[in-house]
Amino acid sequence: MNGRETRAIGVMLAALFGATAAQAQDVHKCTVNGSVTYQSTPCPSGDVVLQAPPTPSEQEQRQARSDQYRQQFQAATGRIFRPVPVPPPPPPMVAGASTTTTIIVSQGPKRVIIRQVRTGAPTPAPKPLTNCEKLNQDNEEAQDRHTQLRAPSELASHDELLKKSEADIARIAQLASASHCNLKH
């Protein structure tokens, strides 16, 4: 990437973030003497009101800046880094449980420390599946794979995958028969 492309990307991002700094407002589409105009004030004849697109949230802006810095670093060094994965949402809360969040500001390299403490009963573990339920679940997944593989394909390994899915279905049917389980179809 040369300097001109880098500047062009920088200008586009500056325009993007500059546009998001402005407050979202209504845009009025007015027809005056046969010509269409767009203005921020209401039309005298009460024409169409267009909603401006919502501005990105603070989190989305931080993520965009992080992605921009990562991409610039990758372009400058030739190294490729994956973006930092977003942590999964916390587990669901049980009735009577509460979460206490403590924010500690320190002078060290990590300036803000956030601690969350959950009190109350933990979320109960899901009930394990019975053998028949597990076989039905496996059968449903195998049937779905088989249905998807029945579509025509030019891949060399397609026939092998189709035969493997048929073998999986037959194996699950044998296991269900031996366990006296009725498979759902």
Give the span between the Cα atoms of 161 and 149, in whole angstroms.
7
Of 13, 43, 77, the one marking the end of a domain is: 77
Q: Is 7 exposed, middle or buried (0-12, 13-18, 19+ CB in 10 A)?
A: exposed
pLDDT for position 21: 46
Helices (H), the chain: 3-21, 58-77, 131-149, 158-178
Give the span between the Cα atoms of 9 and 178, in whole angstroms.
64
8 and 71 share a domain?
yes
Q: Which residues of 35-69 are buried (b: 16+ CB within 10 A; e: fewer)?
A: eeeeeeeeeeeeeeeeeeeeeeeeeeeeeeeeeee
From first to last of the 185 residues of the chain, give the pLDDT tens digit. 566 666 667 666 666 555 544 445 677 777 777 787 777 777 776 656 666 677 888 888 988 898 898 888 888 888 877 776 777 777 676 666 777 777 777 776 667 777 777 777 666 777 777 888 888 889 999 888 888 888 777 776 778 888 888 999 999 999 888 888 888 86
Give the span between the Cα atoms of 116 and 138, in whole angstroms.
38
Question: What range defines the domain where residue 140 resides?
Answer: 131-178
Please give the tally of structural domains in the chain.
Answer: 2
| 105 lies in some domain | no
Q: Are 122 and 90 in contact, with CB atoms under 8 Å apart?
A: no
| 32 lies in some domain | yes
| 49 lies in some domain | yes
Q: Are 73 and 18 in contact, with CB atoms under 8 Å apart?
A: no
| 99 lies in some domain | no
Give which of 27, 30, 25 is closest to 46, Cα–Cα: 30
Of 77, 94, 123, the one marking the end of a domain is: 77
Of 77, 93, 108, the one marking the end of a domain is: 77
Give the span between the Cα atoms of 114 and 134, in whole angstroms.
40
List all residues 6 or more positions away from 26 whose beta carbon is below 8 Å from its beta carbon.
40, 49, 50, 51, 52
| 21 lies in some domain | yes
List all residues 6 or more positions away from 138 whose beta carbon is below 8 Å from its beta carbon.
172
Give the span between the Cα atoms of 20 and 38, in whole angstroms.
19
| 107 lies in some domain | no
Which helix (H) or strand (E) segment holds residue 30: the answer is: strand 26-32
| 88 lies in some domain | no
| 36 lies in some domain | yes
